Amino acid sequence: MTGTDDTRSRWTFLTNHARVLLEIARDPQARLRDIAAAIGITERAAQGIVTDLEEAGYLTRDRVGRRNHYHVNPDQRFRHPAEADTPIGALIDIFTHRETKESHWPRP
């Protein structure tokens, strides 16, 4: 076994970019402060991630009054070459519909 319990518990499968995208997919009218709080980052970091996602074509935002309304592009492909054939809609479906779908994975 390598690493201490502290070391092993720090990494996760999803990046903060993926988490921000998922929060927006769950609530397209979410405020940046709420997105940041939900995933444990600063509001400034959330803003930077939203800008990254918008520049890369993963989402667009419209100003509605004093709030932003986000639109996720589920057909946009993953950036890494190993997943470049897969649309991000697949990831969004996994994490936004898991409460309503039966799991097909065996339970221990």
Q: Summarize pLDDT for 50-91 with one digit per residue, the tens.
A: 999 999 999 999 999 999 999 999 999 999 999 999 999 999
- DSSP-derived 3-state class of residue 70: strand
At residue 85's C-alpha, the angle toward residues 105 and 19, to 5°, is 60
Candidates 60, 94, 62, 57; CA nearest to 75 is: 57
Prediction pTM value: 0.80
Distance (Å, rounded) from C-alpha 12 to C-alpha 106?
22
Mean pLDDT of 40-49: 98
Closest CA to 35 of 65, 59, 11: 59
Residue 102: pLDDT over 80: no
How confident is the model at residue 61, as a pLDDT? 95
Q: What are phi and psi of 64, to 5 degrees?
A: -125, 100
